Amino acid sequence: MSEYSGSVDPRAEDSDSHGGLGCAEVIAEVWTLLDGECTPESRARLQQHLDACPGCLKHYGLEERIKALIASKCRGEKAPDALRERLRLEIRRTTIIRDMR
């Protein structure tokens, strides 16, 4: 129904990767962050992409939630369950990450 199918082909995003992560990879990285720990590397990768590609997470409607997730994770806190659940649902709904199940 909507024109945007919700699937992301990483190759299609390649030209848009700004020399760092592609947009689809960023979502995959966030997915990892949901259950894993915030490492300085993953945080830097995400931050770098968000700086270079400001429309990225807005496009997925995830911007504020992902920033909140990064902020709490990287302070060493556990992200609130509600936030994690929300993100999990939204990422599932908006992207297809082939190896995530």
- Interface contacts to Zn ion, rule CB under 5 A: 23, 53, 56
What is the closest distance, in whole angstroms, from the C-beta atom of residue 3 to Zn ion in the complex? 19
Are 100 and 28 in contact by the 8 Å Cβ rule? The answer is: yes
What is the closest distance, in whole angstroms, from the C-beta atom of residue 47 to Zn ion in the complex? 12
Nearer to Zn ion, 41 or 81 (CB): 41
Token pair 């990064």 in the structure block, residue: 70
Token pair 């590609």 in the structure block, residue: 53
Cα 63 from Cα 94, distance rounded (Å): 13
Nearer to Zn ion, 56 or 79 (CB): 56
